[in-house]
Amino acid sequence: MQRVDLLIHSAAQLVTCASPGGPKRSAALDDVGEIADGAVAVSDGIIVAVGASGDLRAEYCAATEIDAAGTAVCPGFVDPHTHLVFAGDRTREFERKLQGADYMEILQAGGGILSTMRATRAASLPELVLQARILLYEMSRLGTTTVEIKSGYGLDTQSELKILETIAALAGEPYCEVVPTFLGAHAVPPPFLAGSDDYTRLVIDEMLPAVVQWHRQSRLAAQPFFCDVFCEPGAFDYAQTTAILTAAQAQGMPLKLHADEFVAQGGVDLAVELGATSVDHLDVTPPAACLHLAASPTMAVVLPAVNFHLGSSRFANARALIEAGAAMALATDANPGSAPCLSQPLVMAIACRYQKLRPAEALNAITINAACALGLGDRIGSLEVGKQADLLLLKAPDYRHLAYWFGRNLVAQTIKRGNLV
């Protein structure tokens, strides 16, 4: 008998979401690796065995044993796109949008992202940390064990660094790990004029070197540090996006991109050309660009909570992306303007109903593929030997309940790095 720290056994169903060769695509996306009467053994926070309960119980004894009878066990969820650090709220704007106001017009009139920028600039670091920690904790209650968090509500060097410091302050939370992204190019703040290149120059010449330097000596130095741009008319055009992303890449940063949320500006082809880790939104991506994306290693991150919140039926064509072979992931886009949503299971529920994903595709999209969208597919996102033991016990016997129910939390127990949360 081999001794391990933790043995979870007798799960009605264990889904591994295993994919040793990188993200799941096409038919593989519809396979979650179900094991009936499943078990998983963990030592030092790492998975040492996955398989049938009978086999593992014969081979391992553990300091802590959990009888998971009647429950499904799955990997912890990964949320690869959020804007979790902000102050204030946008409830008034929400009300105006319900009466027909347009998201980008509100931004162009100085509201939207810029109203959150004003509130975030006015907030102190401890205030931001407190609010972000509350949201992060709620996300973890909903099953998320790793979350990407973008800056982008500071929009000057000092305020962007304050947001990154907030993200770093969350690095020690035991229930959820964070991955930082610099999104200084989220909107053009006053006194810069919308469309002018002066702010783009500030991002490249002053902010990028400062944040790269910050990351090297931060508590998040071991995590990847992405650069992202909101490529959309009224935010950053194709040329500005290209300039920022190539400058970031030259500094060694991996890339993400917000593209084709409202208007296609060529951002998807640009992301593919530059070898970005992911390109996100994709609501109006033309068929030819979908095919280029599908044939590339760049992950397609789809954000249906945004369409839901904006009351729009123009969802990304996720089925076409999958059929074309794209490596697709799902994220909440948690933010105060376009997606006040912390729940990856709710995102699954929306994607299944409106984008015709199958529950297995949606689960892989918030686990293994979401991990790949952070460049972390070799460490998290699936239940495989050698991977970090981030997993969930559900209050249901089958993973399909995650997409079937909505507005309900089915997480009974979260385990992060082998520790019960």
Is 112 an interacting residue with respect to ligand NIG (CB under 6 A)? yes
- Give the chain's radius of gyration (CA, Å): 21
Task: Identify which of 177, 190, 189, 281 has the alpha carbon closest to the alpha carbon of residue 228.
Answer: 281
* x-or-dash string of contact with ligand NIG, 114-133, rule CB under 6 A: --x-----------------
Segment interacting with ligand NIG (CB under 6 A) among 13-21, 31-39, 118-126, 328-336: 328-336
Q: Residue 302 Cβ, how far from ligand NIG at the closest point, in Å?
A: 12
In this complex, which beta carbon is closest to ligand NIG, that of residue 25 or of residue 83? 83
Q: What are phi and psi of 83, to 5 degrees?
A: -125, 65
Site map for ligand NIG, 141-160, x if CB under 6 A?
A: --------------------
Stretch that binds ligand NIG, among 68-76, 109-117, 369-377, 398-406 (CB under 6 A): 109-117
Rule CB under 5 A: which residues touch Fe ion? 333
Can residue 336 be called a binding residue for ligand NIG (CB under 6 A)?
yes
| 283 is a contact residue toward ligand NIG (CB under 6 A) | no
Closest CB 224 distance from Fe ion, rounded Å: 17
Q: Does 278 bind ligand NIG (CB under 6 A)?
A: no
Give the span between the Cα atoms of 28 and 323, in whole angstroms: 11
With contacts defined by CB under 6 A, name the span among 28-36, 62-70, 72-80, 332-340 that binds ligand NIG.
332-340
Identify which of residues 119 and 210 has a Cβ nearer to ligand NIG in the complex. Answer: 119
Q: Read off the DSSP letter of residue 76.
A: P
Q: Which of 282, 239, 242, 245 is nearest to 260 (CA)?
A: 282
Nearest CB to ligand NIG, comparing residues 77 and 230: 230
Minimum distance from residue 269 beta carbon to ligand NIG (Å): 19
Pairing status of strand 2-15 against strand 34-43: antiparallel
Alpha carbon separation from 74 to 13, 32, 181, 350, 415 (Å, rounded): 9, 9, 27, 20, 10
Q: Tell me, what amino acid is at 169?
A: A
Quick check: bond before 191 cis, omega within 30? yes
Tokens of residue 282, six digits: 């994709």
Q: How far is CA 406 from CA 344, 347, 395, 401, in A?
A: 11, 9, 14, 9
Map residues 235-274 to x or -, x wherever contact with ligand NIG holds by CB under 6 A.
Answer: -----------------------x--x-------------
Give the side-chain half-sphere CA count within 13 A for 7.
21
Q: Is 162 in the site for ligand NIG (CB under 6 A)?
A: no
Q: How far is CA 12 from the centre of its chain?
A: 28
Rank residues 333 and 361 by Cβ distance to ligand NIG and give the closer one. 333
3-class SS letters over 372-396: HCCCCCCCCCCCCCCCECCEEEECC
Smallest distance from ligand NIG to CB 308, Å:
12
Query: Cα dist. 292→129, 285, 304 in Å?
Result: 40, 11, 22
**Is the Cβ of residue 236 or residue 399 nearer to Fe ion in the bound state?**
236
Residue 145 C-beta: closest distance to ligand NIG, Å: 22
Q: Which of 39, 113, 342, 389 binds ligand NIG (CB under 6 A)?
A: 113
Choose which of 24, 25, 83, 162 interacts with ligand NIG (CB under 6 A).
83
CB nearer to Fe ion: pick between 183 and 410: 183
- Rounded to 10 deg, the angle between the 208-216 and 157-169 helix axes is 20
Residue nearest to ligand NIG according to CB distances in the complex: 337
Q: Which residues bind to ligand NIG, rule: CB under 6 A? A: 83, 112-113, 116, 230, 258, 261, 306, 333, 335-338
